[in-house]
Amino acid sequence: MKLNVLLCAGAMAILASCGQNGYVIEGTFSNADDTVSVQRKAYLYSDFSSVADTVDIVDGRFCFKGHVDQPLPYLIGVEGVQGEVEIFLENAKYTAELVQEGPYLGTALVNGGDTQSLYYKIATSHQGVLDKYGLDVNSFMEEYMAEETTDERRAELDGLLQKIYTESDSLRRLIVDEYRAAHPLSYFDLAGIYNEMMSMSPDEIAEALQPYKDAAEYASHPIVVRITEYLEDNTHLMQGEPAPDFTVPDTKGKDVTFSSIYPKYKVTMIDFWASWCGPCRNFNPVLVEIYEKYHDKGFEIVGVSMDNDKESWLQAIKDDGLGWIQLSDLNYWNTEPRELYNVSYIPQNVLVDSEGKIIASKLGEEELEEVLDEYLGE
């Protein structure tokens, strides 16, 4: 009887220690090797705050507790394990289930708080679709990458994966749309702007961010500040701004200045790419079709390559049938045009008119054709 009383008292003490005002994260950690008894530490930290915490993992359990002045994205890490788990932290109670897979933190479910609950709902709906089709991601990848897997079987697996992600994306849209109907402004969407801003044009960022800058609750939030700083560094690339000029050698080593090209065409597109860039090479056939469709209507492309090997660059131009102007100083990622246009990934594009003013940037296939139809009179 006395032992039961002591155990009950101990449990109450643990709950009390994790039950204060502010945030509470009650977590579990497990791995396939069943080494949870190994003494480890769990870490809680954020790129947006200097406030961090470290706790011991005891018998596969850990607990963070504290207070945040405003909701912020945080990360949970485990000592000796690669990777982190994301959590949108506010003053609420959370549960976190962390599972180690190989050297990495793999499966993770974190629930609690307003924003994180939405992420959790999306994650569990996706897992539900995977379970519906009996797909285990690790087993799927093993089969797909196996040498004995036939092309026909890979095609079947591709079809299955496409079906799963189409269904999962549809569910995600329903969940998010319902949430947005009740939350026109939210930390979920604010974090989304931050996570996607590198692939957004400055004009798209400015438009998406403005409602948050106008709202007292969000105006001084660290995410808003961070996005604003990024936007300020890219205002020279907004629509209507003059495109930064540059001079780079062509395939024969002759210097070519960008401003000598665009006055000859209604629309000129800078295409940042490289022979070693898989997504670039995959998009090139699409770009060839677009070029052939619109070139005679006043469209030109200036390819700016991030290559550092001339032979590979020239071979890629030949293999992919790229019939437009090609430039490269063969300085890899240190090429001047990349720095002028703040290019952080490729493929990427910038479109200018005949006066050299920027009209669009970072366009996909459909968006590119829409802009060309607009400017070339379709």
Check residue 10 and give its pLDDT: 43
Tell me the per-residue pLDDT of 133-175, one tens digit each, with 9 for 90 and over: 998 888 888 889 999 999 999 999 999 999 999 999 999 999 9
Q: What is the pLDDT of residue 6?
A: 39
For 260-299, the pLDDT digits (tens) are 999 999 999 999 999 999 999 999 999 999 999 999 999 9
Q: Percent of the chain beyond pLDDT 70?
A: 93
Q: How many CB atoms lie within 10 A of CB 103?
A: 10
- Over residues 128-134, the mean pLDDT reads 92
Distance (Å, rounded) from C-alpha 320 to C-alpha 312? 12
Average pLDDT for 354-359: 96
Q: What is the CATH number of domain 247-375?
A: 3.40.30.10
Task: For residue 33, name the pLDDT band (cuts at 50, 70, 90).
Answer: low
Q: Quote the pLDDT of residue 103.
A: 87
pLDDT at 304 over 60: yes
Rounded to two decimals, the pTM is 0.81
Q: Where are the domains of the chain?
A: 18-112, 247-375
Q: Which residue has the tokens 């090609």?
A: 326
Instruction: Identify the CATH assignment for 18-112 out of 2.40.400.10, 3.40.50.1370, 2.60.40.10, 2.60.40.1110.
Output: 2.60.40.1110
pLDDT of residue 136: 85
Mean pLDDT of 100-113: 89
Assign 20 a pLDDT band (cuts: 50, 70, 90). low
Model pLDDT, residue 303: 98
When pLDDT is averaged across residues 326-334 and rounded to a whole number, the result is 95
